[in-house]
Structure 1
Amino acid sequence: MGLKASLSKPFARAAMVELKMKSANPVASQLKQLNEIVKTGAKTSFGKDHGLKDGMTLEAYQRAVPVRDYEGLKGYLERAVAGEEDVVWPGKPLYFSKTSGTTSGAKYIPITENSLSNHIAGARNALLGQIVGSGDASFVSGKMIFLQGSPELEETEGGIPLGRLSGIVAHHVPTYLRRSRLPSMETNCIEDWEEKLDAIVKETAEEDLRLVSGIPTWVQMYFEKLLKYTGKKTVEEVFPNLSLFVHGG
């Protein structure tokens, strides 16, 4: 077992102990989180319009903020996209994530410093949980490929960076993963998907790949091109140490 794998096990155990402590009483943990959100959100336009205040009960919050779809928030989000501060969260978002718009057009989701750290922590804890649950940390000793949207960013009319969520997160990969991460930033920035996939295959075919992450359709396309490029019959022949597939979507 490599040094990275050996060191990751006690780190993973400690992280999972902390997570279990927080989840031991899920209702109390959720109420605490809600109170923190309400206390912070009370200072925003949305909070003032909905009467949010520190210490309000769950029932009061549910009455004040009924469940709604994106269209019900669109007016607030358009103001934030234009650069207005303190609309749905204090200050301005760090980024806006633009969704593919499979239903009712493209949507703009504010990414704050708080939410970005939660995205990263969630992915990290999933991997640490895998280490603890399986007892196998060997994947950290090899390369990892993340099939994601382009990390190149545009700007909203209010000057806020705009891009795909996976592309945004690519700018914030923890230092301890950067040396293991594939593909390169240059390859990741290729806009044309077919061209990008061909470049990824060439860049990764000879690597000791141990983890693959991406939505299933993208990963399937990658594997199909990989087998065609290498002439192998199975992915296992190309990457004998591949042991973990992390996906969403």
Structure 2
Amino acid sequence: MAVIGSLIKGLINLRDKVVSEADPLEAQEEVLRELLDKSKDTAFGKHYDFEEILKADDIPKAFSDKVPYFDYDKINNEWWHKMHEGEVDVTWPGKPPYFALSSGTTGKSSKRIPVTEDMVEAIRQTGIKQVGALANFDLPSDFFEKEIMMLGSSTDLQKIEDHEEGEISGISASNIPFWFRNFYKPGVEIAEIEDWDERVHEIAKNAKNWDIGAITGIPSWTELMIKKIIEHHNVNNIHEIWPNLEVYSTGGVAFEPYEKSFNELLAHPVVVIDTYLASEGFMAFQARPETRSMKLVLDNGIYFEFVPFKPEYINEDGSLKPDAPVVTLENVKEDEDYVLLISTVSGAWRYLIGDTVKFTDVERHEIKITGRTKFFLNVVGSQLSVNKMNDAVQELEEKFGVNIPEFTIAAIKKDGEFIHKWYLGTEGEANEEELALALDEALKEANKNYKVARSKALKGVEVVTVSPDVFHEWNAKNKKKGGQVKMEKVMNEEKFAEWEKFVQALNGQ
């Protein structure tokens, strides 16, 4: 019997019964109050008069009235750049010991997002909450004795003057508590390898030495790692190497597009748990097995606001219009898309993280990530969001018996008329014209605005099938492999022209 595992599972169950949740609305207002109070003497806090906001009868309203929306470019150009020039107490007391590098999905240049000690601790505390939530899943006792493969970016952070820089997964892994290190794989030495292919090669070589019970990582890169291990050891599936693999903790992007191809690498199903850890903070995790939705963490250093995701509130570059209305947690509605805004213990204020979410259960405060503001395709009024695209692509997988883990799309002009051109990363054979027709029909059924656009200014749909590896190579060329890197689902015409040249060169055309 797994004595230690039974003990750990018992402690988790006990914690789940003993720890009571605070009232969500009160917790959020308390978080906001603490953020404002701690930052009132910073340059940002003085500029927007946080001290006066704290005196208001309705602090959330006073806060939203006084402080404008910020995306990365705006807050970096106006405030965060000062930290790199030696200033302290800019948007949060002191200076951050880390900056999270995030190339996101829209370009080569990395964003440099401050990560304070308060944020490191908040991420750690939310991690503990997530472990506590495992009490809700029917996992065997010996699972809690197994090792965890954390497939993130390199933990070999770059030292720059008085701080270190790296991706958030590398920063988090470099701050793993000592008691967890025996469970953590691939271990410190391999995790520090910067080159993705070399790191995965070392993981594959050592895979048989580990008893992995859970994997965490972005789906596309996790799938590639598993394929490399299977190939290296010449086996049929990953369970021949890690027979006790029970859990996959995903995050960063929707898992559904990868589910079919991911499951083909397994001998039997595993428990899939969604998480929402971004460069800006750990915001939500799946707390129960009955749903794929994630529970917002409302009492741990992040204050949330929501803007209805409607074309009239969004600029062409994905930023918010200044007069876009905001909704607090108290007034959100189920099954409506919202642009997510956060204010955090890292000194982000009313910050447009770039994700859109919808509440699947308002009472439990459970959400799903539905897409990106910059991936909203509204040329000629088609109003396509990423979740509609994902759903349509999944229909193709079922109809044609193929796997399509990756895709990208652009609205381009052909013979003077707009069309949607799709590149599908496809495993298996399917006719491109038949795929285009089925994709078009699925989107017409799912989106009335798309159907109207197709009857007017949007004159056609084209599909090109390529290997999913093409998408990985594109990321390697433009950003890098692994870590937090995600593929852009929607491109503008200029970027799409670069993409097409890249695909042609790769195929020797």
Determine if the TM-score, normalized by the shorter chain, exceeds 0.5: yes
Residues 12 and 132 of structure 1 are in contact (CA less than 8 Å); yes or no, is this contact kept in structure 2? Answer: no
Residues 101 and 167 of structure 2 are in contact (CA less than 8 Å); yes or no, is this contact kept in structure 1? Answer: yes
Secondary structure at 1:247 match in 2: strand
Secondary structure at 1:85 match in 2: coil
Measure the CA separation in 1 of the matches of 2:154 and 2:130.
Answer: 23
Instruction: Give the C-alpha shift of residue 58 in structure 1.
Output: 1.0
Q: Which moved more, 1:71-80 or 1:51-60?
A: 51-60
Pairing 1:121–2:125 present = yes
Q: Which amino acid aligns with 1:123?
A: G
Measure the CA separation in 1 of the matches of 2:188 and 2:158.
Answer: 16
Q: Which amino acid aligns with 1:207?
A: W
In the alignment of these two chains, the number of paired residues is 246
Pick from 19, 26, 29 the counterpart of residue 28 of structure 1. 26
Instruction: Give the C-alpha shift of residue 211 in structure 1.
Output: 0.9
Measure the CA separation in 1 of the matches of 2:170 and 2:237.
Answer: 29
> What is the root-mean-square deviation in Å for CA atoms of aligned residues?
1.8
Q: Which moved more, 1:1-10 or 1:117-126?
A: 1-10
Q: Which moved more, 1:67-76 or 1:132-141?
A: 132-141
Secondary structure at 2:50 match in 1: coil
Secondary structure at 2:209 match in 1: coil
Q: How does 1:44-123 map onto structure 2 within 5 Å?
A: 44-53=42-51, 54-56=54-56, 57-74=59-76, 75-103=78-106, 105-123=109-127
Instruction: Give the C-alpha shift of residue 140 in structure 1.
Output: 2.1
After superposition, the Cα gap between the structure-2 partners of 1:17 and 1:58, relative to the gap in structure 1 and judged at 3 Å, is farther
Secondary structure at 2:79 match in 1: helix
Pick from 190, 193, 197 the counterpart of residue 194 of structure 1. 197
Which residue does the alignment assign to 1:37? Answer: 35
Where relative contact order (Cα < 8 A, 6+ residues apart) is larger, the structure is: 1
Pick from 113, 130, 137 the counterpart of residue 133 of structure 1. 137
Secondary structure at 2:235 match in 1: coil
Residues 99 and 164 of structure 2 are in contact (CA less than 8 Å); yes or no, is this contact kept in structure 1? Answer: yes
Instruction: Give the C-alpha shift of residue 67 in structure 1.
Output: 2.2
Measure the CA separation in 1 of the matches of 2:175 and 2:13.
Answer: 24
Instruction: Give the C-alpha shift of residue 20 in structure 1.
Output: 4.1
Unpaired segments of 5 or more residues in structure 1? none
Measure the CA separation in 2 of the matches of 1:17 and 1:174.
Answer: 24
Q: Which moved more, 1:127-136 or 1:86-95?
A: 127-136
Residues 146 and 213 of structure 2 are in contact (CA less than 8 Å); yes or no, is this contact kept in structure 1? Answer: yes
Q: Which amino acid aligns with 1:118?
A: A
Measure the CA separation in 2 of the matches of 1:203 and 1:28.
Answer: 48
Residues 149 and 215 of structure 2 are in contact (CA less than 8 Å); yes or no, is this contact kept in structure 1? Answer: yes
Residues 9 and 141 of structure 2 are in contact (CA less than 8 Å); yes or no, is this contact kept in structure 1? Answer: yes
Highest CA radius of gyration, 1 or 2? 2
Cα deviations by residue, 1:34-66 (Å, 9 ceiling, x for unpaired): 101111111111111111123441110011112
Which residue does the alignment assign to 1:6? Answer: 6
Measure the CA separation in 1 of the matches of 2:209 and 2:9.
Answer: 27
Unpaired segments of 5 or more residues in structure 2? 253-509
Instruction: Give the C-alpha shift of residue 102 in structure 1.
Output: 2.7
After superposition, the Cα gap between the structure-2 partners of 1:41 and 1:18, relative to the gap in structure 1 and judged at 3 Å, is farther
After superposition, the Cα gap between the structure-2 partners of 1:176 and 1:76, relative to the gap in structure 1 and judged at 3 Å, is same
After superposition, the Cα gap between the structure-2 partners of 1:226 and 1:138, relative to the gap in structure 1 and judged at 3 Å, is same
Cα deviations by residue, 1:60-109 (Å, 9 ceiling, x for unpaired): 00111122211220121111133311001111112111112433632111
- Taking every aligned residue pair, what percent have the same amino acid on both sides? 28
Residues 97 and 162 of structure 2 are in contact (CA less than 8 Å); yes or no, is this contact kept in structure 1? Answer: no
Q: Which amino acid aligns with 1:240?
A: P
Which residue does the alignment assign to 2:425? Answer: none
Secondary structure at 2:128 match in 1: helix
Residues 9 and 132 of structure 1 are in contact (CA less than 8 Å); yes or no, is this contact kept in structure 2? Answer: no
Which residue does the alignment assign to 2:231? Answer: 228
Normalised TM-score (structure 2): 0.46
Q: Which amino acid aligns with 1:40?
A: K
Secondary structure at 1:11 match in 2: helix
